Amino acid sequence: MTTGFHLHAARGGQATGLVSRFDPVFWTVNFPRPMMAAVTTTAADALRVDAVFYRRDDLAGLIWDSVDRHDHALLGYETRRDYRDCRLSFRWRSSGVLPLDAVNGPVLTIEGRDADGAPRNWYVRLWNYAHGTPEDAAVAIDFARLDGGFLLPGERDPVWAGDVDRMFVSLVAPGYDAGGGALAVPVEGWVELTGIACEGAGSVIEIGDAVVPEHGLRVCSGYDDSYHLTPARLLRNALQLGYRGAITHYVGMSHYFRLEDGVVTLKGGALNGACAAWHADFARRATVLGYDVIWSLSYELFDAHAPEAWKQRAADGSPALTGWVPPSTLLSPACGEAMAYLHAVARAFVDLGVAAGLAPKFQVGEPWWWTMPDGRPCLYDAHAVAALSPVAVPSVRGMLDAEQCATLDRAGALLAASTAALTDAVREAHSGCETYLLVYLPTVLDRAAPEARRMNMPLGWASPAFDVLQLEDYDWVTAGDTASSAAGVAAAIARLGYAPARQEYFSGFVLRPDERAQWQAIVAAADVARARGVRAAYLWALPQVMRDGLIVWNIEGEDDMQAFDDVAFPLALGREAEVSPTFATDVVEGAGGYEMRSARWDGARTRYDVGPGVRSEADVAALLDFFRARRGPARGFRLRDPFDHAGEDVQIGVGDGVQRSFALVKRYGDSGRRVTRPVAGSVSVTVDGRATQRFSVGEGGVVTLDEAPAAGTRVAASFMFDVAVRFAEDRLSVSRATYLAGEAASVPLIEVREA
């Protein structure tokens, strides 16, 4: 299975449709920590906001953006900032929030610019445009005749709605005080807007409506990255981008919990009301669209609200904290109260899915004992000390003695017992629940900590402890370290014993938008996993797919063959090839004869003509056989460039103490050419001028060293290489008369860019 991909920054002729402005699907919510709010669609013309307030100054915003910053580039709505020809109406119903007529009651804040282009905000009190009661009223807004201000007409502030960035409705709890402070008890409130209608010449806007064919890849989603969107919006993107089957949904670590005095609690239920409402809607819509949902829960919890006694700790008492800002912490598998909490949370999410008609599926996501950046294991919280009697392990890096290894073995056994108890808790509520384990290989198989797998890939996880083993290795993938990926999979299979048919693979993710080029390696890694027979491959995750404009598709006919045949053009025919390096340069000549030149390509794309090598009937027969086998231009192959096929002591990188993989390159002054087809056995490598045999050469001409070279160290390589080419035309014309007359046939080839 070969997957094509593209990153779209904007639409370029793809299918579009029309959508009403203020369509319920496309509203979002925002709010400060630790409160929680969620928006769901209850009908084609209706939405509901559920909110949980903990502080007196908590304020949620129900937001309409003029610019679609959330949908995939091919599915977003058009930007139109002028609302003067729009009239919005809806019915308002609310409870648990300040009513329409109250001071600090719901206000429509409009952010934009005035008629002179100066930034402005207007504050439109909804009660001034409502008819009914403060908690049940019809609201009608004509943006061409709209005034801000609390009391009208005395405090009238005319709105100019011709250049609006966004608008939002503010929602606060009774007892609101901008000065802050905790509410006496948490307040749960809700607002419903029904019968939402937009009229006028500007009431309809264009929206992307592309539909990507099903491609076989699945997708993950994460609540911490999508809580502000409606489930309908999230699933629309998944469906129209071609993802089918199961969605692995990570419930997150920072938005699902209830709080009491700032600490997580099970009082009132495992999930806060807003989270429960969002996920109930998500489950219902997933069922209707034919998706399965695998509910994913980790041992990770937002640190600020985790009970101190639940946290994993290093020997000096330091809590396990991740690198997120603000940080999360890891719950101790030895803490019975913490594990009972996870049991309740897991059952609550699976309950929501089953109630919506979904089959029960549950994943334990990346459970592990945390390791500090300096190698200290977090095995020393009070519960772990009581359960493990651990000896001192100053660092898991390097060699450990027998007693230290025994400590890690006991920690691993305890971790395995805790995951078994977690899945048992779900199965007690839902017999037949399919269970999954997600293991992050770069951490549990860290080469610098060879014994760490004792505690973080325990033998208690071996088949058949879980129905499905899911493997993830995105740090290796995005670094181009294919050797570690292959070795990691082999090590996991050897240790845990799950056949490929009982494995699934997670490929990704891309943390920042400026790293979106990493999707190329991520998609390729998913293909490698599918080629080795895993049950399914997932991209992690849908919010990043939407953000970066990723489109994937199956390359037609590539299930049975690859687009490149790793065979060489017959040397006897190719050694007399004519070579034509070609650039693409735009040259604009001014009136005075001056030129402006712009190079559209970073390097040359070479054209070849191998016709001069055709000298006999046997040559013609060999050429025709080779042309037919390649199906003309359909399939690439290797060609030895008679003038450029070797590199000698070429610098391919500089060490930084972390990076192990470096791409082969041939240099031409300040420019270079990626070498993707080195000749097998021809590559030699030096590190800081000293030859080394501790490396491998992977696909695409990527050299991976066994150990990362020190910072500032020069990494160089010598090699021979072929060029990836294809036939330039669908038609090949040669005859006996051509070579008998001493004329050269024309057999054009063109270089194929592979990197």
H or E stretch at 529: helix 519-531
Structure tokens that stand for 580 in this block: 């034509």
Quote the mean pLDDT of the chain: 93
Biggest alpha carbon distance in the chain? 101
**pLDDT at 593 (0 to 100):** 65
Nearest to 20 by CA among 248, 204, 166: 204
pLDDT at 229: 98
Question: Does residue 108 sit in helix, strand or coil?
Answer: strand
- For residue range 517-535, what is the model confidence (pLDDT) as tens digits? 999 999 999 999 999 999 9
Work out the pLDDT band at 299, boundaries 50, 70, 90. very high
Please report the pLDDT score of residue 596 as a whole number.
Answer: 63
Span 61-77, pLDDT tens digits: 999 999 999 999 999 99
pLDDT at 583 over 60: yes
Which contiguous run of DSSP H or E holds residue 231? helix 231-240
> Strand, coil or helix: what is 647?
strand
The answer, yes or no, to whether residue 673 has pLDDT greater than 90, is no
State the average pLDDT over residues 94-100.
98
* Model confidence pLDDT, tens digit, residues 354-402: 999 999 999 999 999 999 999 999 999 999 999 999 999 999 999 999 9
pLDDT at 226 over 70: yes
Residues 197, 16: contact at Cβ < 8 Å?
A: no
Give dist(CA 621, CA 210) in Å, integer. Answer: 47
Give the pLDDT confidence score for residue 13 in this predicted structure: 84
What is the residue-wise DSSP string for 172-212?
Answer: E-TT--TT--EEEEEEEEEEEEEEEEEESTTSEEEEE---P
697-712: pLDDT as tens digits: 888 899 999 888 999 9
| Closest of 96, 154, 165 to residue 125, by C-alpha | 154
Mean pLDDT of 204-221: 96
The pair of three-digit structure tokens given for residue 340, joined into one six-digit string? 């009972």
Q: Which residue has the tokens 């294919």?
A: 482
* Ranges 145-154, 626-635, 638-647, 732-741: which has the least confidence: 732-741
pLDDT 10s digits, 308-336: 999 999 999 999 999 999 999 999 999 99
Lowest-confidence region among 261-270, 474-483, 549-558: 549-558
Going from the N-terminus, what domains does the chain have, and what CATH number goes with each?
17-208 (2.60.120), 218-310+323-368+430-555 (3.20.20), 564-641+726-751 (no CATH), 646-721 (no CATH)
Query: Rg of the chain's alpha carbons, rounded to an integer?
Result: 31
Q: Give, in degrees to the nearest 5, the angle at Cα 10 between 8 and 12.
A: 95
Confidence band for 559, pLDDT divided at 50, 70 and 90? very low
* One-letter amino acid for residue 634 of the chain: A
Rounded to whole angstroms, how far apart are CA atoms 286 and 234?
A: 10
